[in-house]
Amino acid sequence: MPNIEVITVPGHAHPVQSAKWPQLARQFPEKVEDWAWGNWLFVGCFKHEGALLAEHIRAAVDRACPRNAYVVSSGGPMRQEFVGDLTEAEAYRDYAVEELGLDPSYPYLRLEMAARDSGENIFDTVGLMMDEPEIKADPSMLLRLRLTVCGWGFKETRYRLQAAALRVWLMAKGVLLAHDWFDYIGVNNPSTIPQGEAVLVKRLEQDLFLLGEEAKRKSRADHRAAYSALGCLLPDLVDLSSRAMRQ
């Protein structure tokens, strides 16, 4: 049986067509200069990063479509003060359709519209796939799932740590993923790597879903229980790190 290939592009901004959002230019002229890329505004990106984020979207589409793989645009409504309820997933989809020529009726295009960070990009993509009718009918098909994330090169370590943790947790709940189920494509990097990334990776090595703080733990539990098919499997995830690192 062939693998079920899924290519996820995690949102890091809201690409919107400049002509459709003139009020942004009026309200936030100093920010718009940083966000501008061609005829688009990558709302929320750092200066000159719009072109780099566009490459993430292109990498996912170019990898998925020729092989009839799922392409998942992942990200929630992160910048409501600028773009209202538009999610990162919808904005990335719009860019792929209007700028890259992705057919909006492509049968394997999926939107994951709730994730707020890298851990949830992975978790919610798996939850989305568990809701696919054929997998819902036969959960053993998840053994054929192969997920590839296309994003910032400097985030690869954090994504691989969290993907390993998710696999171990799901195994403990009787949901099996293959040992090679996850891969990561570091498409590019910003001109300056955020200093906090090394600190974050250190934290992840101790607490792979950053659940050590009670507020964060409750936030994640509420998010998952409300959102995806994995909500029914919610355990206390605080001990996830130690189990994952022993594998």
Domain spanning 4-194, CATH class: alpha beta
* Chain segment 118-168, per-residue pLDDT in tens: 888 998 899 899 989 999 899 899 999 999 999 999 999 999 998 998 898
Domain boundary assignment for the chain: 4-194
Cα separation, 235 vs 230, whole angstroms: 10
Q: What is the pTM of this model?
A: 0.86
* Chain segment 84-100, per-residue pLDDT in tens: 899 999 999 999 999 99
